[in-house]
Amino acid sequence: MKRRNFITKGTLGALSTLIGSEIVYGAKIPLGYEPLALQDPDPFKLFNKDTGMTVLNNKPWNIEAKAHLLDDKVTSNKYMFIRNNGLIPENIDVDNWTLTIDGESVQKSKIYTLAELKSKFQHHTYQLTLECGGNGRSEFNPPAKGNQWTVGAVSCANWTGVRLRDVLEDVGIKNNAVYIGYHAADVHLSRNPEKEPISRGVPMAKALQDETLLAFQMNGEDIPLAHGHPLRLVAGGWPASASGKWVNKISIRDRVHDGSKMTGTSYRVPCEPVAPGEKVADEDMCIIESMPVKSLITYPKSGAMIKEGQALNIRGHAWAGELEVTKMEYSIDFGSTWNPCTVERPINRLAWQHFSARINNFPKKGYYEVWARATDSQGVSQPMLLPGWNPKGYLNNACHRIAIKVV
């Protein structure tokens, strides 16, 4: 029999303290064993997520949806992806939460309490599409480092808050303002308080849009902790990294904001297309702004079966950053021919749109793929396969596909 090493009395004592209870057979715990009570909590319970969601990383937490889970017109918390660059802030004191507006381009910096923000400015609600710039990254080749998102890092929820514009008007912004940059309460993975996990922003024109909110509610309730409670910047249609969670400061900059993840290959792509794997000079990289046209088939789930002669009803959502989707098509022959879908207008600017189609032209039994393709108001369509390679694997807006078997 192999000899096992058991934990020492000292370690056992420390473990009992952590767990808050005597570990009755503690002397029998093998060395290096991590008691279940000390392992990561169940993320689905912790964040109130559907157990069908996929956990891509736990340090920091990154969780994505699957296409069929996003079938609802408005994304509820349980199907909303989580993308964290650092550690979720702990012990949030809502009553003492403040938002500072400072920077080179304010007349005089100002501090608002959450209560002041809520009482002083008019409230607005918009349904806003938030897609991670890296959604679809898993398909790039050569592979791109980072969370291997498939299709589920996108959401469209109702966000309620005050217009950033109204707040900036109240503060007084100088004419030389170029960009806003957010600062937030999350903690860098190194726990070094000098470092920010992420501090991004948007140009003034985007900051001043009607739909750019300092939000305190999501879907009519307090924003869930993982999504930015108690205050979040929401700039729909742009990479969701521009929508700072747990925001406590907004700096009005006289230059392009240069916070964490604004430079290098972070949320930047080659300004002109490059060959896969090619090195790109820093000055040839451009910050991602409006997200490209894209769509997702949310019903049926890939792998569905229908009987021969039966029609197949499909549906899903389509979005196009700052633009609107004006045409939606499907193909059952790998993109050789396309048929129209019905596509609804967005409920408001920057909200995703709903499409549907009734497919009754499957010629016989067998395996099919249904592809969906959206076209934006400038006539740009989704590529059928992977679009331009870039170092970090952003902006994969290839057509979504589902498998169907006619039996």
Ligand X SMILES: Nc1nc2c(c(=O)[nH]1)N[C@H]1C(S)=C(S)[C@@H](COP(=O)(O)O)O[C@H]1N2
* Total residues in contact with ligand X, by rule CB under 6 A: 21
Q: Who's near 159: CB < 8 A, 6+ residues apart? A: 125, 126, 127, 128, 213, 215, 217, 218, 232, 234, 236
Distances (CA, A) of 119 to 114, 162, 165, 395: 9, 10, 16, 38
Work out whether 132 is an interface residue with Mo ion (CB under 5 A).
yes
Closer Cβ to ligand X, 177 or 198, answer by number = 198
Q: What track of x and - describes contact with ligand X for positions 197 through 216 (by CB under 6 A)?
A: xx------------------
Alpha helix (H) residue ranges in 99-228? 114-120, 164-171, 204-207
Which residue in 199, 209, 212, 241 binds Mo ion (CB under 5 A)?
A: 241
Instruction: Quote the least distance from Cβ 226 to ligand X, whole Å.
Output: 6
Reading the block at residue 67, the tokens are 């296409």
Distance CA 280, CA 268 (A): 11
Which part of the chain contacts ligand X (CB under 6 A), choosing from 20-28, 244-252, 302-310, 369-377?
244-252
Burial of 115 (0-12, 13-18, 19+ CB in 10 A): exposed
18 membership: H or E segment, kind and range: helix 9-19
Instruction: Quote the least distance from Cβ 128 to ligand X, whole Å.
Output: 11
Which part of the chain contacts ligand X (CB under 6 A), choosing from 16-24, 243-251, 282-290, 390-398?
243-251
Nearest CA to 341 among 362, 354, 355, 353?
Answer: 355
Work out whether 132 is an interface residue with ligand X (CB under 6 A).
yes
Site for ligand X, residues 8 to 27, rule: CB under 6 A: none
Nearest CA to 6 among 39, 24, 33?
Answer: 33
Distance CA 209, CA 348 (A): 13
Closer Cβ to Mo ion, 209 or 241, answer by number = 241
Closer Cβ to ligand X, 249 or 354, answer by number = 249
Site for Mo ion, residues 75 to 104, rule: CB under 5 A: 83
Work out whether 243 is an interface residue with ligand X (CB under 6 A).
yes
Phi, psi of 280 (to 5 degrees): -120, 130
Site for ligand X, residues 77 to 96, rule: CB under 6 A: 80-86
Q: Who's near 112: CB < 8 A, 6+ residues apart? A: 98, 99, 101, 120, 167
Nearest residue to Mo ion by CB is 132
- Which partner from the list Mo ion, ligand X, none does 243 bind, CB cut-off 5 to 8 Å by kind? ligand X
Which residue in 151, 184, 323, 395 binds ligand X (CB under 6 A)?
A: 184
Work out whether 240 is an interface residue with ligand X (CB under 6 A).
yes
Which part of the chain contacts ligand X (CB under 6 A), choosing from 162-170, 172-180, 237-245, 364-372?
237-245
Nearest CA to 293 among 314, 317, 272, 319?
Answer: 319
Instruction: Quote the least distance from Cβ 132 to ligand X, whole Å.
Output: 3
DSSP assignment of 393-406: -----PPEEEEEEE
Reading the block at residue 15, the tokens are 């473990």
Work out whether 393 is an interface residue with ligand X (CB under 6 A).
no
Which residue in 245, 257, 373, 401 binds ligand X (CB under 6 A)?
A: 245
Distance CA 44, CA 42 (A): 6
Instruction: Quote the least distance from Cβ 77 to ligand X, whole Å.
Output: 9
Distance CA 292, CA 80 (A): 20
Work out whether 241 is an interface residue with ligand X (CB under 6 A).
yes
Closer Cβ to ligand X, 227 or 268, answer by number = 227
Where on the chain is the footprint of Mo ion (CB under 5 A)? 83, 132, 241
Where on the chain is the footprint of ligand X (CB under 6 A)? 80-86, 130, 132, 155, 184, 186, 197-198, 227, 240-241, 243-246
